[in-house]
Amino acid sequence: MTFRQLQGWVSSLPLAYDNLAIRRTFDTPALAAAFPFTSPDLTAELGATAVLYGANLSSASIVAWDRFAQDNHNSVILARSGAGKSYLAKLEALRSLYTGVEVAVVDPEDEYARLCHAVGGAYLHLGAPGVRLNPFDLPPAGDGDPLTRRALFLHTLVSVMLGEPLGHAGKAALDRAILAAYRQAGISYERRTWNRPPPLLRDLAEALAEDPDPKAKELAAGLAPYVTGTHRQLFDGPTTTRPDSHLVVFSLRDLPEELKAVGTLLTLDTIWDASPTPATPGPAWSSWTKPGCSCGIPKAPASCCAWPRRLASTGPACRWSRRMPPICSLPTPARR
């Protein structure tokens, strides 16, 4: 009866005229207004990766959101203690998997192990006996040079291990040793060599020890705890679990306090390697922020602090809360 009020009024008079000729109680617009997926609430663009969160307690309308249909994919959970921040984060992670989205979780409290095992994901329990993550693993080749990218990351990693930035002489000695370790493993700038088993941290320490430069020997001594000492557990061998699945959980709870910074950096780097596109700076991951450091890693160099900003502004969507770690969702089609 839209725009037919006059005809409706005449038809209601006792004149036996039917100017409407409507045989249904509801016409299409009236029925559509009663459909539960339309409401007077705020709406957002929904795509193939939309997630159903539940129902609005006030209007009983459906609450759904598609982060990848927005200009900015990132979000933050803010609520009082016990309000359900953890439950909401896990709910979105699980329902995102149903839509074909890949999810990576940084889990400092080991809360996602059960969810990961239930859906057949990859669970990296860093700090547990026999679990290792080799920092020399080459990232996916893509269009760039993975050897150069890995060498640059190792400069940042060694700086975090030593707890101080490297000087010019130290950077030169470290660069020589990194390339020597890869050459010893048969890996060069030629693409056909990139699938060979990568070297280990002890190979880098040996290359530094064989270098006649005194600065190289100083670096080798600084890496001794991570190679032959009490910190070697995480690096004493090849990677045990490949972080390659629709759900990847990095558990950091059992990492010793001395390895928390290194383990966090390795986790960030692994997620960054899985991101689909090059990044530009942008704010993110404030739950890890400490004074003077946006990545939450004490005494981290500037290049390390850029990791969270890169993750927030590239393809992955980062979600974090006061207590919960970030959940980084990777759209499956964009994966390399």
Task: Give the pairing of strands 122-125 and 247-251.
Answer: parallel
Q: Which residue has the higher pLDDT, 43 or 320?
A: 43
Tell me what pLDDT residue 48 has. Answer: 86
Question: Cβ(52)–Cβ(63) under 8 Å?
Answer: yes
Instruction: Give one word for 109, left, alpha or beta, with left for phi > 0 and alpha for psi -120 to 50.
Output: alpha
Q: How far apart are CA 45 and CA 284, in angstroms?
A: 23
Please list the alpha-helical segments (H only) found in 285-334: 302-313
What number is the average pLDDT over the span 93-98? Answer: 90
Task: Give the pairing of strands 317-321 and 327-331.
Answer: antiparallel
What number is the average pLDDT over the span 26-38? Answer: 71
In Å, how far are 93, 112, 288 from 87, measured between CA atoms? 10, 11, 20
The beta strands (E) that lie in the chain are given as 51-55, 62-65, 75-77, 101-107, 122-125, 247-251, 317-321, 327-331
In Å, how far are 171, 198, 213, 221, 227 from 210, measured between CA atoms? 16, 19, 9, 12, 15
pLDDT at 307 over 90: no
The structure tokens 């690096």 sit at: 235
CATH 1.10.8.730 fits domain 146-234: yes
Q: Which residue has the higher pLDDT, 16 or 282?
A: 16
> Average pLDDT over the chain, rounded to whole?
80
Tell me what pLDDT residue 120 has. Answer: 93
Give the tens place of pLDDT for each residue, 111-157.
999 999 999 999 999 988 889 989 999 987 766 789 999 999 999 99
- The Cβ-side half-sphere exposure at 295, using a 13 Å CA radius, reads 26
Low-confidence winner among 38-47, 223-232, 246-255, 283-292 (lowest mean pLDDT): 283-292
Q: Which residue has the higher pLDDT, 283 or 54?
A: 54
Best-predicted range by mean pLDDT (30-34, 137-141, 275-279): 137-141
Q: Which residue has the higher pLDDT, 167 or 139?
A: 167
Question: Cβ(87)–Cβ(323) under 8 Å?
Answer: no
The structure tokens 């010793």 sit at: 256
Listed by start position, the domains of the chain span: 1-35, 39-71, 76-133+241-334, 146-234
Angle 186-202-176 (CA atoms, 0-180°, nearest 5)?
Answer: 60
Could you tell me the pLDDT band of residue 4, with boundaries at 50, 70 and 90?
confident
Residue 141 has which token pair? 């080749």
Would you call 205 exposed, middle or buried from its count of C-beta atoms within 10 A (0-12, 13-18, 19+)? buried
What number is the average pLDDT over the span 151-171? Answer: 92
Q: Which residue has the higher pLDDT, 280 or 330?
A: 330
